[in-house]
């Protein structure tokens, strides 16, 4: 008897290749760019594009680990609060006389610990969904930020810290280089390592993965910890760009990050989607926001568009599946 080979990859045809969600995103990005270019003749200039990307890349760092979390069928809505807390603690330590370098290390450590706490709670209390656990920690983390800083702003960072968010290296913004490095790292982790395959396995069927020897709990804790760490990285860039920090910064980031991941074609039911989709979604939403800013569309209208995009990007695959199964019957 011939050994049965599980089809790992679908047969390559041009139709299936170009009918992917990622290509739809590319088309959308092109459409938005054309719209932007027709609205403003300056949009396609290199300087302008470069500075436009600097504006929205700070939260993109959280998108990368959020892809892993949503792939596993979980969710983390405390990321924005982690951003705030690590930024506030960094500023507070710096203002108490710690050198800036060490304060940044402390900020990164705080983010990592917050993420680890989320992960441990999710793993130890499996009967609670990650929604409710991270909802509680979201309030707690921001609460600590309020205790530390009250309603004050904190700043007066050294000059070199400002460069983090504003400086160019060889004409390319530093933040873009950092994001590219992180994106390649996370993409490699997801698509080329055993760890990444296990994340997909957990998302498809957590029980089956546990029985086949995948250490589900360990992987989940690690992924949540990574989300904490990347939130802290976002905190560094955001604080550097703003020059000061407050306990209410980054509010609403969790929504935008989740919207980007879902728009990138990563399924909320777990186990489906690719890193490149989420990265394309980051640029799509970034350019869209920039373009709408050019035509003076209010921030509120943008809220509506973002919400509808989130709903549509989940609804379309669901409806497609529904119609496909109806046709089969």
Residues that bind other proteins (CB under 8 A): 75, 77, 121, 125, 127-129, 131-133, 135-144, 146-147, 150-151, 255, 258-259, 262, 268-269, 298, 300-304, 306-308, 310-311, 314-315, 318-319, 322
Is 133 exposed, middle or buried, given 0-12, 13-18 or 19+ CB atoms closer than 10 A? buried
* In the complex, least distance from residue 245 CB atom to other proteins, rounded to whole angstroms: 15
Q: Which is nearer to other proteins, 162 or 205 (CB)?
A: 205
Q: Which is nearer to other proteins, 35 or 140 (CB)?
A: 140
Q: Which is nearer to other proteins, 150 or 156 (CB)?
A: 150
* In the complex, least distance from residue 16 CB atom to other proteins, rounded to whole angstroms: 24
Residue tagged 């968010």 (tokens): 165
**First CA to last CA distance, the chain:** 34
* In the complex, least distance from residue 108 CB atom to other proteins, rounded to whole angstroms: 22
Q: Which is nearer to other proteins, 128 or 295 (CB)?
A: 128
Q: Select from 238, 281, 240, 243 the least CA-distant residue to 80.
A: 238
Q: Which residues contact 193 (CB under 8 A, 6 or more apart)?
A: none
* In the complex, least distance from residue 3 CB atom to other proteins, rounded to whole angstroms: 30
The tokens of 217 are what? 């709990």
* In the complex, least distance from residue 99 CB atom to other proteins, rounded to whole angstroms: 28
CA distances from 253 to 205, 229, 231, 269 (A): 29, 15, 10, 22
* In the complex, least distance from residue 162 CB atom to other proteins, rounded to whole angstroms: 28
Q: Select from 84, 60, 65 the least CA-distant residue to 75.
A: 65
Q: Which is nearer to other proteins, 58 or 254 (CB)?
A: 254
The tokens of 163 are what? 């460069």
Q: Which is nearer to other proteins, 29 or 133 (CB)?
A: 133
């Amino acid at each position: 008897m011939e050994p049965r080979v599980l089809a790992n990859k679908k047969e390559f045809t041009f139709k299936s290749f170009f009918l992917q969600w990622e290509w739809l995103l590319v088309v959308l990005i092109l459409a938005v760019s054309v719209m932007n270019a027709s609205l403003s003749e300056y949009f396609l200039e290199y300087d302008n594009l470069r500075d436009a990307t600097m504006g929205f890349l700070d939260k993109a760092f959280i998108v990368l680990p959020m892809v892993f979390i949503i792939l596993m069928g979980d969710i983390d809505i405390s990321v924005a609060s982690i951003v705030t807390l690590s930024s506030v603690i960094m500023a507070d330590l710096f203002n108490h006389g710690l050198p800036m370098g060490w304060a940044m290390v402390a900020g990164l450590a705080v983010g990592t610990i917050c993420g680890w706490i989320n992960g441990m709670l999710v793993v130890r209390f499996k009967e609670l969904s990650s929604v409710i656990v991270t909802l509680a920690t979201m309030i707690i983390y921001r609460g600590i930020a309020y205790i530390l800083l009250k309603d004050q702003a904190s700043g007066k960072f050294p000059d070199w810290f400002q460069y983090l968010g504003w400086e160019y290296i060889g004409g390319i913004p530093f933040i873009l280089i950092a994001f590219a490095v992180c994106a390649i790292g996370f993409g490699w982790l997801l698509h080329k390592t055993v760890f990444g395959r296990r994340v997909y396995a957990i998302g498809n069927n957590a029980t089956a993965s546990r029985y086949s020897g995948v250490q589900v709990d360990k992987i989940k804790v690690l992924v949540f910890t990574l989300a904490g760490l990347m939130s802290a990285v976002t905190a560094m860039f955001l604080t550097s760009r703003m020059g000061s920090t407050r306990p209410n910064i980054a509010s609403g980031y969790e929504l935008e990050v989740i919207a980007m991941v879902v728009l990138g074609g990563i399924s909320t039911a777990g186990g489906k989607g690719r890193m490149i989709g989420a990265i394309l979604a980051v640029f799509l939403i970034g350019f869209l926001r920039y373009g709408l800013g050019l035509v003076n569309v209010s921030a509120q209208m943008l809220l509506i568009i973002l919400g509808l995009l989130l709903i549509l990007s989940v609804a379309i695959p669901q409806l497609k599946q529904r119609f496909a199964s109806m046709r089969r019957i």
